[in-house]
Amino acid sequence: MNIEIANRLVNLRKQNNLSQEALAEKLGISRQAVSKWERAEASPDTDNLILLARLYGVSLDELLQTDDEIPKREAENNNEEEKTRGEYVNVSLKGVHVIDKDGSEVRVGWDGIYVDSDEEKVTIDKNGVFVDGVEYTGNWFKDHHREKFPMAVLITIVYIIISAFFNLWHPGWLLFLLIPLWYTLVEAIYKKNAHIFAYPVLATLLFLIAGFFANAWHPAWVLFVTIPVYYSLVSYFRSFKRDKKDENDDNIIDVE
């Protein structure tokens, strides 16, 4: 926290006729914390910066505006060089563009998804799925989804977008529960084994959605009761199917 921003916090508080104690009470923090901000001895975290901006009726840019020059590294000759030399993240209405330090690149926009890594280039758009310029169908997805399909990356990008534009950091984090659900579902279908599917994660996700959005913690807890029911039914049908197969095999032997 530089002294210029600290002084701005003091002026904004006084303009709004607030004492340090009154401001601390509104933010749910101690007066000492407010005092440290205004003496430039500490900085507000992101949540408190947002609360301060809302309370004072200013934007975050106005709240944090400073005349200090932002230092530049000598290696940064232009924007393109910076993007290729280090991490780069750009979130806009057009989509999300991420470049990692190793040069891996992900672009997600209205026109599709583009992933460029050391191993291969993947493009998913209205024209289909292309890997290194070659079009692939379901076989590629079935055989390589666990290693190649960037579901975790896509969920993370979607989370960043909805959080940045719609302030849904919570409960947007629920999206991350879709990652194990996705991979275990595809694995379960591929191996024809419903035991693999992470049903407890699904029950937890539905319980949290019911609680957060409908305040229905009760009776939503009943969802957890369905977990042993699910696995019991899966075991029953697997056993039934196995017995049926053994019976058919015995019939074939008898005929022979």
Instruction: Read off the CATH number of the domain in which 36 is found.
Output: 1.10.260.40
The last residue of a domain, from among 23, 38, 64: 64
Task: Say if 60 falls within a structural domain.
Answer: yes
Task: Say if 110 falls within a structural domain.
Answer: yes
Task: Say if 106 falls within a structural domain.
Answer: yes
Lowest model confidence (mean pLDDT) among 39-48, 133-142, 163-172, 178-187: 133-142
Average per-residue pLDDT for the chain: 78
Q: The pTM is what? A: 0.44
Q: Give the bridge partners for 90, in sequence order.
A: 97
Condensed to tens digits (0 to 9), the pLDDT of residues 193-246 reads 899 999 999 999 999 999 999 999 999 999 999 999 999 999 988 888 877 776
Task: Say if 31 falls within a structural domain.
Answer: yes
Please answer whether residues 37 and 6 qualify as being in contact, where contact means their C-beta atoms are separated by less than 8 angstroms: yes
Is 157 in the same domain as 208? Answer: no
d(CA 9, CA 37): 8
- The encoded tokens of residue 178 equal 């879709």
Classify residue 246 as exposed, middle or buried by CB count within 10 Å of its CB (0-12, 13-18, 19+).
Answer: exposed
Is 240 in the same domain as 186? Answer: yes
Instruction: Report CA Rg, the chain.
Output: 27
**Does the pLDDT value for residue 75 go beyond 50?**
no
d(CA 23, CA 54): 13
Structural domain count of the chain: 3
String of DSSP letters for the chain? --HHHHHHHHHHHHHTT--HHHHHHHHTS-HHHHHHHHTTSS---HHHHHHHHHHHT--HHHHH---SPPP--TT-SSHHHHHHHS-EEEEETTEEEEE-TTS-EEEEETTEEEEE-SS-EEEEETTEEEETTEEE-HHHHHHHHHHH--HHHHHHHHHHHHHHHH--HHHHGGGGGHHHHHHHHHHHHHHT-GGGS-HHHHHHHHHHHHHHHH--HHHHTHHHHHHHHHHHHHHHHHHHHHHHHHHHHHHHHHH-
Most confident of 58-62, 183-187, 230-234: 230-234
Task: Say if 70 falls within a structural domain.
Answer: no
Is 133 in the same domain as 209? Answer: no
What's the pLDDT score for residue 119? Answer: 66
Task: Say if 71 falls within a structural domain.
Answer: no
Q: Which domain holds residue 58?
A: 3-64
**Owner of token pair 């609680």:** 211
Query: What is the pLDDT confidence band of residue 41, given thresholds at 50, 70 and 90?
Result: confident
**Does the pLDDT value for residue 76 go beyond 50?**
no
